[in-house]
Structure 1
Amino acid sequence: MSRLNLDPLITFADGSHLVVSTQCLKEGDFSCALYRASIAPDDGASFQIISNHLAAATCLNAQEHAYSYALRLYPNAGAQLRKPPYLIWPGPRAGIIQ
């Protein structure tokens, strides 16, 4: 899980967070994954994958797909669930100057 960007969507009552990660795939498509993240008092973190491979041809479409999936999983959180757009990590080649 190197170089994932994580953007919080909601904080649950137990202090854990639902986060989304968006990546640009080699083929030019985009993919999102949802995680439940818990941060320990010593700043350690644990992640439980909720979904992955929510892919689409555009970044925004992949993020909207992830948002819709989160709404289905947590229907009572709809009003508090943050809507797209979210952060995106374009991939390892984005920072390389050619």
Structure 2
Amino acid sequence: MLGSRSELLDLGRTARLFNGAQRLGLVVTQRVCTVLGCDWPAHLCHAHHDDSWFSGGETNFDEARLLCPRHHARIHDPRFETTIHPDNQVTFHMRT
């Protein structure tokens, strides 16, 4: 997939970190942290892999989401279960 300036938006396994074109695309399309009810501005959020890079996930635009620092820490916290809803918003539930 290419951005408006023919910049790569799908990097696969060639890079772990999201590039500037990917981040800009996420800021434009997601606007805020993707956690339900969070209004943290997109330009202050972290880019997160839906499928962990360390488990074979790819650095592709459609497999990325923006999370504020608080929610980015939470999504990696094993005490919480994460649900990604059809509207691409995320909720967390404490594991029991």
Pair in the same fold by TM > 0.5 = no
Who wins on radius of gyration, i.e. which is larger? Answer: 1
**Which is bigger in relative contact order (C-alpha 8 A, separation at least 6)?**
1
TM-score, length of structure 2 as denominator length: 0.26
When you count helix as a share of all residues, which structure comes out higher? Answer: 2
When you count strand as a share of all residues, which structure comes out higher? Answer: 1
